[in-house]
Amino acid sequence: QKEVEQDPGPLSVPEGAIVSLNCTYSNSAFQYFMWYRQYSRKGPELLMYTYSSGNKEDGRFTAQVDKSSKYISLFIRDSQPSDSATYLCAMSAGGNNRKLIWGLGTSLAVNP
Amino acid sequence: EPEVTQTPSHQVTQMGQEVILRCVPISNHLYFYWYRQILGQKVEFLVSFYNNEISEKSEIFDDQFSVERPDGSNFTLKIRSTKLEDSAMYFCASSERGGSSTEAFFGQGTRLTVV
């Protein structure tokens, strides 16, 4: 089983839709969970960071972590064409294990 | 807003040549990282660096790779003898706190093409 799995899509939605992106993981040691946005041939841009289980909201973005199911989600409300990008989940165990383990990324297109 | 800066944006090199990729991390950050992303594949961790030494490295980071912080601002990745399979986007990242490389901020990347 891969450490982090993420459906690559592509996902295409109309402007204004609610978008749901998710990742599953197998390593129960992961405690830090991040969502990055990446535009074509650019560096990943940190969107959301969550520690352990729970929800975190920032503007139109909500991140959820369910450690019991080893499942994380990112919701985008009122999606805009400018949200069109690849969204990557990344996670780490913390402590002395600082490296981020990444999903493949989901390609999202928001159509005007 | 502070950002991680990488140069060059694109590097083409012949197989067997040495390349140095350069990064200027965010100034008050303490932890530095290199990742790479082969086209169509996942982002992969290469190495983390703290207090002037490597704190963690992956299996990819073999003897052909080295990192250095030659002065107070630059952080470099050297590949001694490039192979075709080293062609990828290389990302530098930095974070203020360690413990988990949480909230790591990434540069725009250097696209390395080995021919």
Give tens-digit pLDDT for B26-58.
988 888 999 999 998 999 999 999 888 999 999
- The verdict on domain B28-95 having CATH code 2.60.40.10 is yes
What is the CATH superfamily name and number for domain A4-111?
A: Immunoglobulins (2.60.40.10)
Residues of B in contact with A45 (CB under 8 A): 106
| Residue B100 pLDDT exceeds 70 | no
pLDDT at B103: 77
The overall average pLDDT reported for chain B is 92
| Interface test with chain A among B38, B102, B106, B108, by most A beta carbons within 10 Å | B102
Per-residue pLDDT tens digits of chain A, which is 112 residues long: 679 999 888 999 999 999 999 999 999 999 999 999 999 888 999 999 898 888 999 999 999 999 999 999 999 999 999 999 999 999 988 776 778 999 999 999 999 9
Helix (H, G, I), strand (E, B) or coil at A58: strand
The pLDDT assigned to A40 comes to 86
Nearest CA in chain A to B91: A43
Specify the pLDDT at position A54.
Answer: 86
Neighbour count for residue B24 (Cβ, 10 Å): 16
The token pair that represents B24 in the structure block: 């200027």
| pLDDT tens-digit readout, B53-90 | 999 999 999 999 999 998 878 999 999 999 999 999 99
Smallest CA–CA distance from A96 into chain B, residue: B99
Domain segments of chain B as ranges: 28-95
Query: A98 and B31: CB-CB below 8 Å?
Result: yes
Tell me the C-alpha to C-alpha distance, in Å, between residue B87 and each of A11, B12, B15, B16, B68.
Answer: 28, 9, 10, 12, 21
- The structural domains of chain A, with segments of one domain joined by +, span 4-111
